[in-house]
């Protein structure tokens, strides 16, 4: 069971089995002929959970996730969603979707973020077997109104 963006025929967080190996499909699309075009997949080994970024949002050339300063001068950043679209998904071979169990920590609190700096957002999850996974998202804060105020 995956997260489906019907407008773009994209399925995120789907799990497939090929032979004796299980994979989480991070991002795939259906072409105009109905053929599956796979872009990224992660092999699931044993009973370890997996944390994957969905690719939603804007990334710069150095793979930093871009967020902006609000009108109040504070960072506009939700660690789980852009609008209603998830930016991160946690799955487990046995437990399924465990995104609700994610623990998020920051290299610095978002309310203290300054424009043009990069901050680390760490995601951790533990499955029902006590196995843990960790993934880090680098977030760059931009002030889009700089010079226009």
Could you report the per-residue pLDDT of 95-117, keeping only the tens digit for each? 888 999 999 999 999 999 999 99
**CA contacts within 13 A on the Cβ side of 88:** 25
Residues β-bridged to residue 68 = 76, 142
pTM above 0.75, yes or no: no
Q: Please say whether the beta carbons of 65 and 138 come within 8 A.
A: yes
- The answer to whether residue 54 scores a pLDDT higher than 50 is yes
Question: Which residue has 């169990």 as its token pair?
Answer: 101
- Closest to 117 (Cα-Cα) out of 127, 106, 128, 125: 106
Q: How confident is the model at residue 7 (pLDDT cuts 50, 70, 90)?
A: very low
Q: How confident is the model at residue 40 (pLDDT cuts 50, 70, 90)?
A: low
Q: What would the pLDDT profile of 22-37 be if each residue is shown by its tens digit?
A: 566 656 565 666 665 5
* Cα–Cα distance measured from residue 145 to residue 108, given in angstroms and rounded to the nearest whole number: 23
Predicted pLDDT of residue 1: 32
- Please tell me which of 35-44, 89-98, 126-135 the model is most confident about, judged by mean pLDDT: 126-135
Predicted pLDDT of residue 121: 96
Predicted pLDDT of residue 147: 58
Tokens at 28, concatenated: 């795939």
Which one has a higher pLDDT value, 59 or 32? Answer: 59
């Amino acid at each position: 069971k995956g997260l489906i963006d019907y407008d773009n025929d994209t399925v995120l967080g789907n799990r497939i089995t090929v032979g004796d190996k299980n994979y989480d499909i991070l991002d795939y699309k259906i072409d105009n002929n109905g053929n599956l075009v796979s872009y990224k997949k992660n092999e699931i080994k044993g009973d370890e959970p997996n944390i994957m970024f969905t690719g939603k949002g804007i990334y710069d050339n150095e793979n930093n996730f871009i967020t902006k300063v609000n009108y109040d001068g504070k960072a506009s950043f939700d660690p789980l969603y852009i609008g209603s679209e998830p930016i991160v998904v946690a799955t487990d071979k046995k437990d399924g979707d465990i995104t609700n169990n994610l623990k998020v920590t920051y290299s610095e609190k978002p309310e203290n973020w300054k424009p043009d700096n990069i901050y680390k957002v760490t995601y951790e999850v533990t499955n029902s077997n006590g196995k843990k996974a960790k993934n880090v998202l680098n977030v760059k804060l931009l002030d889009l109104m700089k010079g226009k105020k």
